[in-house]
Chain A
């Protein structure tokens, strides 16, 4: 009689975090109140940060919390609170296309799982050493090989600063 595999502690934690992420993600889509969707979105962002931790990508996890939970979710919440009617009752837009959209999303999932399940995944090139300065190495790459990208990124953020204010502030004569 085959024995059931005993899940390791890491696996249990992963399943918990993954389930939390998926369920909150589903909640974002199906919640009937837009404000609840926004809060669940923040929960989803948290779950993704947890997954990054599981992948030992701490920098990404912190970034995820700092930017997505701390800033993007806040921004979305503000945007909803700007519109008075959006907070009460069934405010989440749900149109007649949702059935089709759900079907296509499901087919996409099946196709993706089928494709990704069948391919050989690359093995990690090398294991991460505990005391290795991974984030410092990222910083070094940022200012050497990817310096042009970094500065263009700054340009992009500048465009965002100018453009956002241009469109969002009151129209003066």
Chain B
């Protein structure tokens, strides 16, 4: 039998293959390392793998669209998702380098799971088939459940892991049930084929909508959209902070990628129906996230609620169902990745490891002690609030522009109002950092990777803000 189809277009999965081999290498190196070794090299190996993944993405950049075995596709969207996910992973490894050895002695597994989660996320952006979508979703979810609970001496970490696992398993149930109904509706797991059968009137639309409703619950959980967001603050607070940073960007990007694939590939013609459902969810998510963030005392919980609100903004871009909206969502995720991971990196720098969190007193008057860190935090907060000329501003600008041009002006207006609310709590932190009396600010954690991570994130936030055209051009063609 002719096996040439096996290696035809195999480059479609090059970045995932690199990440997978890197994870294997980390596990192997960990198994072979001497018992008294500190595992410092493992972090470097993980970092190298992520960089190689980015290089692999660049290598297949601009190639004509292709499909591997009918399940994984190479197109602009898949590449864009990979850029965001791998950037998040890059920062997560940098933040973990000094952090992982403090919270666990099993640093090899820590990095291996981080890389495998990244592989699952980046695969989710490339998949155009429901079975692979589900398996990729589960791969990164499972790795994240474990990583959330890896700080075993901290009871909050164990609680977060259990909560995340139970609710995540429940959401996966919804997801797989929805996928099964979608299969029943069209007789195929291939999203493009499902779309064709729908357009030809061959699919069972009643089953399709029941399936879509269930899929929405599954994705809503992963994206922490509002009625399904209850787990987010507890899990974000309990998880080791570098993992929280990674999760807040990576999970959202991957789940959103899967969601966009389902909606954009299979159901583009039904936008009039799902557009409204997404609009309602977006308004709820933005508003509830921002209002709840106003009242948080813990910095990690505040950032958790703020990430819920940001998921709402991104959802606004999807409502019109246009390629422009998809590109805007990708750009937003990239900008959000830089500034949000940056903010979590500052939490890593300030927290006492045993507490795994920073409260209000932990950063008051920090500017007098650590001026550079304070400046970086101010950049991240301004950017998250959407103040020009930083990355977050252009993200919001593109998202709301896509909504207005798609005919959803009222949604954009509500988004802008929400940004105004959010500015209050972001700026309050900046004010506290600069103008409050210094209290017992903890000693600053510092290792090369952390400092480099904060510097790169701040630099990126500013650069994307100053030269947005460069990045917009990068993400512009990726919506299709």
A and B touch in the complex (CB under 8 A): yes
Pair B105/A147 contact, Cβ less than 8 Å: no
Instruction: Tell me the interface secondary structure of chain A in the complex.
Output: helix
Q: Which residues of A, 142-173, contact B by the 8 Å Cβ criterion?
A: 144-149, 152-153, 155-156, 158-160, 162-163, 166-167, 171-173
Q: Chain B's nearest CB lies how many Å from the CB of A144?
A: 7
Q: State whether A152 and B105 are in contact (beta carbons under 8 Å apart), knowing that A115-B210, A167-B146 are contacts in the complex.
A: no
Q: State whether A149 and B135 are in contact (beta carbons under 8 Å apart), knowing that A159-B116, A162-B112, A173-B105 are contacts in the complex.
A: yes
Q: Chain A's nearest CB lies how many Å from the CB of B254?
A: 13
Once A and B bind, how many residue pairs between them come within 8 Å at the CB atom? 85
Is B309 on the interface with A (CB-CB < 8 A)?
no
Pair B204/A149 contact, Cβ less than 8 Å: no
| B residues near A172, Cβ cutoff 8 Å | 105
Pair A166/B106 contact, Cβ less than 8 Å: yes
Is A98 on the interface with B (CB-CB < 8 A)?
no
Interface size class of A (residues with CB under 8 A): 20 to 34
**Counting chain B CB atoms within 10 Å of each CB, which of A118, A144, A145, A163 scores highest?**
A163
Task: Give which listed residue, B138, B146, B152, B204, contacts A119 with CB less than 8 A.
Answer: B204
Q: Which residues of B, 100-141, contact A by the 8 Å Cβ criterion?
A: 105-106, 109, 112-113, 116, 119-120, 123, 129, 131-132, 135-136, 138-139
Task: Give which listed residue, B105, B135, B149, contacts A156 with CB less than 8 A.
Answer: B135
How far is it, in angstroms, between the C-alpha of A148 and the C-alpha of B136 when the chains are bound?
10
| A residues near B291, Cβ cutoff 8 Å | none
| B residues near A163, Cβ cutoff 8 Å | 109, 113, 142-143, 145-146
Is A101 on the interface with B (CB-CB < 8 A)?
no
**Smallest CB gap from B110: residue in A:** A166
| A residues near B361, Cβ cutoff 8 Å | none
Interface size class of B (residues with CB under 8 A): 35 or more
Pair B113/A159 contact, Cβ less than 8 Å: yes
Is A89 on the interface with B (CB-CB < 8 A)?
no
Which A residues are within 8 Å of any B CB, using their own CB?
Answer: 115-116, 118-122, 125, 144-149, 152-153, 155-156, 158-160, 162-163, 166-167, 171-173
- Per CB-CB distance, the 9 closest pairs between chain A and chain B, nearest first, are A119-B206, A163-B146, A148-B71, A152-B135, A156-B139, A149-B132, A149-B131, A166-B109, A159-B142
Which B residues are within 8 Å of any A CB, using their own CB?
Answer: 13, 20, 27, 68-72, 105-106, 109, 112-113, 116, 119-120, 123, 129, 131-132, 135-136, 138-139, 142-143, 145-146, 149-150, 152-153, 161, 184-185, 187, 204, 206-207, 210
